[in-house]
Amino acid sequence: MTNDDYKQKLSEEQYAVLRESATEPPFSGKFDDFWKTGDYKCGACGTVLFKSNTKYDAGCGWPSFWDAADNSKIKLIDDDSLGMQRTEVRCGVCDSHLGHLFNDGPVEHGRRRYCINSAALNFEDK
Ligand SMILES: [Zn+2]
């Protein structure tokens, strides 16, 4: 898909996050305080990326997961922007921006915190 295709398919907010690596304001996203059981899919290509059973309340204002549904579908990239050393999380299938990975997650699950924009995800009830 070209960027024009994505512009057709996605809302302005989804496009800004997924294709231009924007970050939605904290506590603004529809999945921040959202606890239904199901799958979280890439907003651009529909690949299942996260599952509700690894979602937890990190208090940071964005949906947080301590693991990915399938690590082979996730791409991690060093990100030195904004003067910070972070790890960017992208969809491994369509290369869309999702959020960042931090190492302050739950100790019992390996300290990972996938901090993901609500606008990057679609949810499917299970
Ligand atoms: Zn994708």
pLDDT tens-place string over residues 93-123 = 999 999 999 999 999 999 999 999 999 999 9
Is 45 one of the catalytic residues?
A: no
Residue from 42, 45, 91, 115 carrying the catalytic annotation: 115
Q: How far is the CA of 96 from the centre of ligand 1 (A)?
A: 6
CATH class as words, domain 3-125: mainly beta
Output the CA torsion sign for 101, 93, 98, 35.
negative
pLDDT tens-place string over residues 18-64: 999 999 999 999 999 999 999 999 999 999 999 999 999 999 999 99
pLDDT tens-place string over residues 62-100: 999 999 999 999 999 999 988 999 999 999 999 999 999
Which of 118, 109, 104 lies closest to 31 in space, CA to CA? 118
- pTM flag (> 0.85): yes
